[in-house]
Amino acid sequence: MTSKSEALASFVESAPPGELITVTADIKAITGDNPSTAEALGPAFQKYNEEQFATVKLPGASEPVIVSSHNSLGGGRYYDVESSSEFEFDHTTQKASAVQSYVLESKHADLVKSLLKSLSTHAAEHFPSSTLGVYPAQDDLGVAIVLVANKYSPNNFWNGRWRSLYVFTPASGSLTGSIKVDVHYYEDGNVRLLADKPVSSSLSADASAPEITRGVAAVERKYQEELNRAFGNLSESAFKGLRRQLPITRQKIEWEKISGYRLGQDIGGGRSR
């Protein structure tokens, strides 16, 4: 049987984008704001933040940085290449503190910094609000590219998140990863889109930052086109199939008698029994 802590942890790990605070408040309401419960959920908060590529603004900074397993230093500390800093991150409050300088040590340091510059232009062109991180990966045999774009509109009852993760291996020229889309719509209902697309592309060995950026752009453009086609088909076929089709009689409806109509017979032109 699933324990209480495991059940509550599942609530945290499945929280829709931009709604972790709301989910946490609900958990506190259920458990009576028990400090031991919050402490027990620490690993679930960490897992959620790292998998969702949580973003946080460092004290005194204007741009957010990413929190993920790819830039973790262990012990709740993470680093950011762009700002040359490392910081402590509280997974429960989602706040950063204890910022220190950080020097990237990697044989791919030049590629990492070039990718940050090249991909920043790509992200600015294609995402209204995004945060980018590039880090050494695979024991410094590759480079991880992490991009997250959030768009929240709680007043209109929807929130969404796009996550891209790519690992480029210079020795082979392979670019592999995944694109994840998570959108939650909850006005007069509860609808959620969860999409996970594995992606791969072959580039030249020791490809340059612009070439890798073009590879990333091609992969994302192809997936966006697939999503557009899927939504088009959904609108033209699946949704129409859910509607009850009414016959076309070309007769005017007498609106003053609308409350007395029998849908299948009167509007359809049939005879009552």
208 is a domain residue: yes
**Tokens 């603004």, located at residue:** 57
256 is a domain residue: no
Q: Confidence band (pLDDT; 50, 70, 90) for 35?
A: confident
Residue type, 266: D
Residue 248 has pLDDT above 60, yes or no: yes
75 is a domain residue: no
pLDDT score, position 39: 79
Q: Considering its fold, how many domains does the chain have in total?
A: 1
Range of the domain at 174: 107-244
Distance CA 247, CA 114 (A): 63
230 is a domain residue: yes
pLDDT score, position 34: 74
111 is a domain residue: yes
37 is a domain residue: no
Residue type, 269: G
List strand residue ranges (DSSP E) for the chain, in order.
Answer: 54-57, 64-67, 72-74, 77-80, 85-90, 95-101, 130-137, 142-153, 158-169, 174-185, 191-202
5 is a domain residue: no
For residue 54, the 8-state DSSP code is E
Q: What is the pTM of this model?
A: 0.83
Q: What CA–CA distances, in Å, run from 201 to 28, 222, 230?
A: 45, 12, 22
Return the CATH number at 234: 3.90.1150.210
